[in-house]
Structure 1
Amino acid sequence: MYSYPLSYLSFLAHFHEDRDYFECHEVLEEFWKEKTDQAPDSVWVGLIQMAVSLYHHRRGNFIGAKKLMTKAVAIFHKREEELGELSIDREALLHQLSCRLREIENEESFTDMAIPFSDTKIVKQYRDFLQSSFLPAEEPAAEYIYHKHKMRDRSDVLAAREESLRTRRQLAAAAK
């Protein structure tokens, strides 16, 4: 039904609909790890860095926002053809990000942005995805979206880390 990866469509939905840039990162990072060669300069990493830069900018973390936006822009210049394959208007996006980088450097207030598309194919699939698949739960409070990395439930991640540490200690003890 879709010619674009579902993770990409989900990224776009979080980017444009609920402006949950942290979730954009989560969705694409999982895709990048599981479905790609994990190149550190892939277009997927650029999209992740762009979203996280916006997350930092909205929170007033200008240093983090600048660092990630600079990296994203460098990747996009290198991967312009791949942006086109994702139906992103390369010139318009790079212009937007150049302006955004200046705003970050001048420590200007955050404003929303939209990823510019280059054809109607992505727009149709994006709309179809929204209607059929993107069913956000009740709208989260802005405070949660703005500070998600601090407020989300990470108990499963922490439990997995603790189990991994316990296993490594047991293996080290057994090796002695």
Structure 2
Amino acid sequence: MIFPLPYIEFLTHFHGDRDFFECHEILEEHWKRSGTEKGSVWVGLIQVAVGFYHYRRGNKKGAYKMMDKAYNIFIQRKAEVHSLGLDHRELIIMIQQSYMEIQADLPYQAKDLPIIDLELLTVCKERVRSCGWIWGNKDDFHEEIIHKHVLRKKIPSISQDSTIIKPG
């Protein structure tokens, strides 16, 4: 299978440093370049990242709104979610669980996307390790990522035109 490098980079940040603002930036650029519609799975993933960004910052209304939008995209796009190496059912459950936690006014806690493609998972874990991060990091309350939209410190990213090709 072939996965676009921005997706790999998104997953690396999502599960490594938990820089959800950077996740949004990376995938939004890819989505715009790909020319897909507003209801694409790329937009759903962007919305999940933005939802967690808001949730961690204490903006529960914004978090709930983004998770709801992502849910509405993913519920209709099972095959596309699966083609990205994610477990559709577990993704829906994760979003529903996040809804309940937000509504119950529970504090934010990091969650992982349900990657089921083992080669994708291996590539992403290796990238996280090579960045010096820990896969599934739960210690993600660092000011520079919590308030990144205010600080606007842009992290250099890999070329958005690159692609990761998996043997298959």
Bin of the TM-score, shorter chain as denominator length: 0.7 to 0.9
Partner of 1:145: 145
Structure 1 Cα separation of the partners of residues 81 and 41 of structure 2: 7
1:121-173 Cα shifts (integer Å, max 9, x gaps): 211232354466x578xxx981110000011158xxxxxxxxxxxxxxxxxxx
Check if 1:73 corresponds to 2:68: no
Q: Radius of gyration: which is bigger?
A: 1
Query: Which gives a bigger RCO, structure 1 or 2 (Cα 8 Å, sep 6+)?
Result: 2
**Which letter does structure 1 place at the counterpart of 2:10?**
F
Q: What is the TM-score with the length of structure 1 in the denominator?
A: 0.77
Name the counterpart of 2:26. Answer: 27
* Residue aligning to 1:174: none
Q: Sequence identity of aligned pairs in percent?
A: 41
Task: Give the 4+ runs in structure 1 shifted more than 3 A.
Answer: 127-132
- Higher fraction of helix: 1
Write the distance in 2 (CA, Å) between the matches of 1:94 and 1:141. Answer: 25
- Does residue 120 (structure 1) correspond to residue 112 (structure 2)? The answer is no
How far is 1:105 from its partner?
1.5
| Unaligned 5+ runs, structure 1 | 155-176
RMSD: 2.1
Which amino acid in structure 2 is aligned with residue 14 of structure 1? H
Aligned residue pairs, count = 148
Alpha-carbon distance change, 128 to 153 in structure 1, aligned in 2, over 3 angstroms:
closer
Structure 2 residue runs of 5 or longer lacking an equivalent are: 134-139, 155-168
- Asked if 1 retains the 8 angstrom alpha-carbon contact of 2:16 and 2:128, the reply is no
